Amino acid sequence: MAITALTFDLDDTLWNNRPVLERAEAGHYQWLSDALAAASPGAGSAFMAHYPLHAYQQHRADVARRFPLKRGDFTWIRERALFEMVEAYGLPRLRARLWAAHAIAHFLDLRHDLTPYPEVVAMLDTLRRSYRIAAITNGNADLKRLDLADHFSVMIAAGELHAPKPDPRAFLAALARLRARPSQALHVGDSWREDVLPAQRLGMQVAWIDAKNEGPRELPPGVYRLTHVRELPTLLARLAS
Ligand SMILES: [Mg+2]
């Protein structure tokens, strides 16, 4: 059946996300530590001396275990972890909440300071003339804050649905809003577990962006391996012919 709809993963599919996350992770935490020190000079050792970055990361894992219903909502988990740590550092509860919220706003600023691969904007511009296009992300990138927003008619933040990929609900929600049956849609994503397998099981076709060069795998029917998203238009042309 002809493909009429495309769904895209974002992180590591449309841009290289690792440097973005590394900058955001270190940047907002350092910002919080500096801001706390500036707000209460002489308060003793800095926040980060009490809680180095790895302690924050461990605390997030602990929060995720304690709040299983929030799994996948990484921004919530971050904010909750920061709140608990700032409160444990000695600030009143309300101020701890405010500092955590400020730090998260800073994190999200850094998280959206990213550059898609150079081919992406022109490619989406062309594709949207022929396909209905959705984005499905587990990450906390908010498309409305990115220059790419205009290229997508549907945006599914799977984490906020509390049904992160590989849960099929995010795919089903995107397909419903695109008014496409699975057999009419192709999903584009880099994760074998979160993109390829769930989409393929629903009966979608899949362009697997093997960005990490995981090497040869046995590809199920309807799954195509690309090494970069720039190869997608060639694949679509081949599938349409
Ligand atoms: Mg991805």
* pLDDT score at 184: 97
* pLDDT score at 152: 93
Cα–Cα distance for residue pair 176/232, rounded to 1 Å = 23
Ligand 1 centroid to 106 CA: how many Å? 22
Ligand 1 centroid to 209 CA: how many Å? 9
* pLDDT score at 24: 96
Q: Which residues surround ligand 1, an ion (CB under 5 A)?
A: 9, 11-12, 190
Tell me, yes or no, whether 70 and 142 share the same domain. Answer: no
Ligand 1 centroid to 84 CA: how many Å? 29
Q: Decide: residue 98, CB within 10 A, 0-12 exposed, 13-18 middle, 19+ buried.
A: middle
Number of domains into which the chain is organized: 2
* pLDDT score at 154: 93
- Looking at residue 170, which CATH number applies to its domain? 3.40.50.1000
Ligand 1 centroid to 131 CA: how many Å? 21
- For each of the chain's 241 residues, which pLDDT tens digit applies? 799 999 999 999 999 999 999 999 999 999 999 999 988 776 666 899 999 999 999 999 999 999 998 877 889 999 999 999 999 999 999 999 999 999 999 999 999 999 999 999 999 999 999 999 999 988 777 777 888 888 999 999 887 777 888 999 999 999 999 999 999 999 999 999 999 999 999 999 999 999 888 877 889 999 999 999 999 999 999 999 8
Domain end among 60, 86, 111: 111
Cα–Cα distance for residue pair 194/61, rounded to 1 Å = 20
Tell me, yes or no, whether 68 and 134 share the same domain. Answer: no
- Looking at residue 92, which CATH number applies to its domain? 1.20.120.1600
Tell me, yes or no, whether 66 and 148 share the same domain. Answer: no
Ligand 1 centroid to 52 CA: how many Å? 28
* pLDDT score at 46: 85
* pLDDT score at 236: 98
Tell me, yes or no, whether 95 and 121 share the same domain. Answer: no
Ligand 1 centroid to 57 CA: how many Å? 21
Tell me, yes or no, whether 52 and 121 share the same domain. Answer: no
- Per the structure, the complete domain to which residue 185 belongs is given by 5-16+115-240
| pTM over cut 0.75 | yes
